[in-house]
Amino acid sequence: MPPAVAPTAPAADEFPVFRSGRIGVLLLNLGTPEATDYWSMRRYLKEFLSDRRVIEIPRLIWWPVLNLIVLTKRPGPKGRDYESIWNRERNESPLKTITRSQSEKLAEIIAGGAPEQAARITVDWAMRYGLPDVRSRLQFLQDQGCDRILLVPLYPQYAAATSATACDKAFEALMTMRWQPTIRVAPPYSDEPVYIDALATSLRQALASLDFEPEKILASFHGVPKSYILKGDPYRSQCLRTHALLCEAMGLAPDRLLLTFQSRFGTEEWLTPYTDETVKGLAQSGVKRLAIITPGFSADCLETLEEIGVENRDIFLQNGGERFAAIPCLNDTPEGMAVIAHVVRRELRGWIDI
């Protein structure tokens, strides 16, 4: 019987070197086209409007509408809308500019608060649609040695079409990873005191800077189809909660600080009252001075800068209004960053205290 042969141990350099022990924080926002030309807009709109979380119409009905009508007609006009707000210095949309800045400032806040612990944390950002994409940034964080990652959807109020689809994209990426990092997801913060305080401070500062006093103020949230709420989406109730707390913080009655919903699309009934119809009605009823705040957006984007700042301004002025102000989002201001930093610090507890 031949002697047993001991197995040959693999050489050490045959195995990959794994980095671990770090913590990643990934800010997630909605998305943006890479340019304003027809084909860039078409690619962005196709990804966005193909998402089953966004459009729940059966595919047999929606697919011909999307590909034969929407993606033929909308890229041109939407590209012109984006062109009107485009950050030409960086050649990108404001949403990308602001989200990047939020990520950079969050890293600075973390580093300044607890340098030793912060040395273990990497902060990054990604877009649900467009670039930088979620998959590549998760991989980047893992390559940096992050075996624990906190996902932070930058939506104060939860909706399946925003928070859930951002997480869906992250989970799709995780499905392809042999070594999955441990994941946490930060919850919405629609009634967090730090968020309400930030909104109230921002609104007071904006109103103080105006050379007129608004007769009415609208708190305009992004709309969703009514059917989504009837199916169990908590978005409307969270918007109402934010509005009620903001009215309380500002000492304003709900008929002075009104709640509305914007950005409806298609023929289905969406959440009401509609922002554009409310703006028109107020102007026609004799309101001459109006301001609009958009508490559901963490960063200024097409829906705030163009839809509110241009379209609704025109509606108001063309129907008898005289003075109009679109109030900026929290963005990367000290108030806005205080909200993001608070959420991140709270959700990292147990992993690391900063």
Whole-angstrom distance, CA of residue 10 vs CA of residue 171: 34
The two beta strands, 146-153 and 22-31, are parallel
Residue/partner pairs of 136-141 with CB below 8 Å, 24 or more apart: 137/26, 138/26, 138/170, 138/173, 138/174, 138/177, 138/181, 139/173, 139/177, 141/24, 141/26, 141/181
47 is in an annotated binding site: no
User: Are the beta carbons of 236 and 271 closer than 8 angstroms?
Assistant: yes
DSSP for residue 24: E
Residue 256: CB atoms within 10 A of its CB come to 13
Annotation-wise, does 303 bind a ligand?
A: yes
- 210 vs 208: CA distance, rounded Å: 6
Element of type H or E holding 31: strand 22-31
Secondary structure letter of residue 225 according to DSSP: B
Cα–Cα dist 153/184, whole Å: 11
Residues in the chain: 354
DSSP 144-180: TTEEEEEEEE--SS--IIIIIHHHHHHHHHHTT-SSP
Is there a cis peptide before residue 273, judged by omega within 30 degrees of 0?
yes
Cα–Cα dist 312/203, whole Å: 19
The span from the CA of 225 to the CA of 223, in Å, is: 7
Helix segments in the chain, DSSP class H: 38-49, 59-64, 71-73, 75-85, 94-113, 115-118, 134-143, 165-174, 193-209, 226-230, 235-250, 275-284, 313-318, 334-348
**C-alpha 297 chain-centroid distance:** 6
Question: Which segments are annotated as binding site for Fe(2+)?
Answer: 222, 303
Question: Which segments are annotated as binding site?
Answer: 222, 303
